[in-house]
Amino acid sequence: MSAVMELFKRRAAYEACPDPAMPIGQSRYVVMDTELTGLDVKKDSIVSIGAVAMEGGKIILGETFYEMVFPETALRSESIVIHGIMPSEVVGKPSIGAVLDDLLKFCEGAVIVGHFLSLDLAFLNKEMKRLLGKKFRYPVVDTLQVHKWMQDNSRGARSQYDAYEENKDLFSLAKKYQIQVSAAHNALMDAFITAQLFQRFLSFLPALGVRTVKDLLRIAKP
């Protein structure tokens, strides 16, 4: 009972977020990625979470979060091929409940960033609702939506953004923006790649009229 009460006591702290009027170059961000047992939010579950902190456009290499989770549902061969996490690697790992509380502490006071973030949020919200009775309520930014918005609003700079680009997955955009991608693939590495992509976008956005956190949230909703 005491552990449950502690989770509820922390609920108010989870609401903290940056001032919407803050310049995007001064806000704190947490760039996040998850690995999953599959893509069906009703049947699958989280198997790892990775995150890296940013202060404005600076990636804080010393502030990272990475946990493998003993999943609520069994790992499937299709997902193992993608993330490479074997069933034997998650034996004895903490439950999502234990990991979730630490993750929320890491996210306090930040705008949460991810690529195709709606998928990560769907799984996080499922666990938040089950464990805390509420949704993940930090402000969120999807780098996929930022990229699409820049394509539509770059005007004279459109040559930098291919309007006919077909692939907008993380690794295709990383290649487009000359971000090095290693052969390794896990939630923390993908969060770091996303942080570098977001770093590029933060340098372009003020010239396109996106200068405050409020502006950013307006164009980047998942």
In this model, does residue 120 exceed pLDDT 60?
A: yes
Cα–Cα distance between 80 and 204 in angstroms, integer? Answer: 36
Q: Report CA torsion sign: 190, 195, 199, 201.
A: positive
Per-residue pLDDT, averaged over 107-132, amounts to 95
- pTM equals 0.87
Per-residue pLDDT, averaged over 46-64, amounts to 97
What was the pLDDT predicted at 159? Answer: 47
In this model, does residue 180 exceed pLDDT 70?
A: yes
In the three-class reduction of DSSP (H, G, I as helix; E, B as strand; rest coil), residue 185 is classed as coil
In this model, does residue 185 exceed pLDDT 90?
A: no
- Please check whether residue 114 is in contact with residue 31, taking contact to mean a CB–CB distance below 8 angstroms: yes
Per-residue pLDDT, averaged over 118-139, amounts to 93
Per-residue pLDDT, averaged over 76-91, amounts to 69
Per-residue pLDDT, averaged over 127-142, amounts to 92
Domain ranges of the chain: 19-219
In this model, does residue 68 exceed pLDDT 50?
A: yes
What was the pLDDT predicted at 12? Answer: 46
H-assigned helices in the chain: 2-9, 77-83, 87-90, 96-107, 117-132, 143-153, 170-176, 187-204, 213-219
What was the pLDDT predicted at 1? Answer: 44
Question: What superfamily in CATH does domain 19-219 come from?
Answer: Ribonuclease H-like superfamily/Ribonuclease H (3.30.420.10)
